[in-house]
A = this chain, B = another copy of it.
Amino acid sequence: MEFNIGDVARMASVSKATVSAVINNRPGVAPQTRENVLRVIKKLNYRPNQVARSLSVRATKSIGLVIKEIDNPHFARVIKGVFSASSRHGYTVILGSSEHSPEKENMSVETLTNQRVDGLIVSPLQASHSDFGYLAQLIARNYPLVTLGEVKNYATNVVDINNEAAAHEAVSYLISRGHQKIAYLSGPAFSAHRLRGYQLALIDHSLPIETKFILDAGPYFENGYTKGKQLFTSSYIPSAVFCYNDLVAIGLVHALQELGFKVPDDVAVIGFDDIDFCQFARIPLTTIHVPAYEIGEKAADLLMRQITNRGNGMVEKNLLDAYLVKRESA
C-alpha cells in the first residue's frame, strides 16, 4: 500500500534513476518514458518519501522557527509571515517555543538542528542568564540562522525594528504631553533596548531616571495587571506608563480602571506591538506599531538566501520601521 521508487521503476520497466528524474522533473527523459512513468505514479498513487530524499541530498526543505510565546498575537503575525514566505519557497516550518525559558530555547534549537532543518529563525530571549551557548556553535558551523533581534556579542543575521528608537519615540511623546513621572513596565529581563530608549528619552529631556518606576513585569495581561495594582497602590505614583507590549498595557489599563484611575487623564498608557486588539480595547491603545508580519516574511526570505548561499560569511541586519500610533490611552 505504501510504494517506493523501486516499485514504480519496476512497474514502468525503467530504472530508479529514471523515475527519480521524472519526479524531480529533470530534463533528459524521453517524453514517452516520462509519460509512462507518470502514469504508473498516478496508478500507484506513489508519493516520494521526503525523508529518504532529505538523507540523500542532505537538505530537508524545512526550517525551524523558535519564538517566545505562541499565545501572543504579535507572534502569531510573525509566524504567519514566516509561514507565508516559507511556503512560497517550498519550505515547511517546524515550530518551537521557548516560553521564556532559556533552557527551552536551547532545547528547541537542539531538537530542530538534530532534525536537520535547513535553517533557523529564532526570537532570542534577552535574559542575561541565558548563555546562548548554542549560538556560538551554530555560527561556527555557519548554520543558516536569522535572529529576530540582535544578540549581544554575536554577529547574526537579524530582522527587527529599532526598539530603542521606538521606545524613545513613545516616551518622548509622553513627555511632550506634559508627563514628568513616567514608569516603564518592562518585559522579561527588562528588555534592554526598549529600556534604553526609555532612559535616553528621559535623559534627553532632563528628567530623572527613577528606579522605582522601572518594574520588571513580564509579557502577559496578568503581568501588566498585577504590576499595575502594585504600582498604583504604592505611595509614589507616575502619571504615565510605557509598557513592554500591548498585552501588558491592556492588563495595566484594566488594573487602573479597577482602582478608579481615568485613562488617559489620570494616567496615560502606551503599549508596544500594535496587535489588532488595540483598537478594540476598552480604551483604544496608543502604541508602537511593529510590522510583525513583515518581520516574519523578511526573516524567512533572508534565511532562504542564507540557505542558498551558505558560507559567504556576510551578516545582514534588517531594521524595519516602527512608529507611534496615537489612539486614546495617551
Q: Contacting A71 at CB < 8 Å: which of B80, B93, B111, B282?
A: B80
Is the Cβ of B47 less than 8 Å from the Cβ of A114? Answer: yes
Q: Is A1 an interface residue (CB 8 A)?
A: yes
Residues of B within 8 A of A279 (CB): 254
Q: Is A60 an interface residue (CB 8 A)?
A: yes
Of A2, A253, A276, the most chain B CB neighbours within 10 A belong to A276
Q: Is A94 an interface residue (CB 8 A)?
A: yes
Q: Is A196 an interface residue (CB 8 A)?
A: no
- How many identical chains are in the complex? 2
Q: Is A203 an interface residue (CB 8 A)?
A: no
Residues of B within 8 A of A97 (CB): 80, 83
A11-68 contacts to B, CB under 8 A, are 45, 47-52, 54-55, 60, 62
A258 to chain B, nearest CB (A): 12
Is the Cβ of A47 less than 8 Å from the Cβ of B94? Answer: no
Contact of A111 with B92 at beta-carbon distance under 8 Å, contacts A51-B54, A281-B281 already known: yes
Is the Cβ of B76 less than 8 Å from the Cβ of A2? Answer: no
Is the Cβ of B62 less than 8 Å from the Cβ of A83? Answer: no
Is the Cβ of A50 less than 8 Å from the Cβ of B115? Answer: yes
Is the Cβ of A116 less than 8 Å from the Cβ of B49? Answer: yes
Residues of B within 8 A of A60 (CB): 51
A152 to chain B, nearest CB (A): 24
Is the Cβ of A1 less than 8 Å from the Cβ of B141? Answer: yes
Closest to A48 in B: B114
Q: Bound state CA distance, A254 and B279, in angstroms?
A: 9
**Other CB < 8 Å A-B pairs besides A47-B110, A277-B277, A282-B282, 20 of them?**
A2-B141, A47-B113, A47-B114, A49-B116, A50-B114, A51-B60, A55-B55, A62-B115, A70-B83, A71-B77, A72-B76, A73-B76, A83-B95, A92-B115, A93-B94, A93-B95, A94-B95, A254-B280, A277-B280, A281-B281
Please list 22 pairs of residues, one from A and one from B, whose beta carbons are closer than 8 Å in the complex, sorted by A's number.
A47-B114, A48-B114, A50-B115, A51-B54, A52-B55, A55-B55, A62-B94, A70-B76, A70-B80, A70-B83, A71-B77, A72-B76, A73-B73, A73-B76, A79-B95, A83-B95, A83-B97, A92-B94, A94-B94, A94-B95, A251-B280, A280-B281
Q: Is A261 an interface residue (CB 8 A)?
A: no
Q: Is A173 an interface residue (CB 8 A)?
A: no
Residues of B within 8 A of A221 (CB): 276, 280
Q: Bound state CA distance, A2 and B138, in angstroms?
A: 12
Q: Bound state CA distance, A48 and B60, in angstroms?
A: 15
Q: Is A330 an interface residue (CB 8 A)?
A: no
Top-5 shortest CB links A-B: A71-B76, A50-B115, A50-B114, A51-B54, A70-B80
Q: Is A290 an interface residue (CB 8 A)?
A: no
Closest to A221 in B: B276
Binary flags per residue of A105-130, CB closer than 8 Å to B gives 1, else 0: 00000111111100000000000000
Residues of B within 8 A of A281 (CB): 280-282
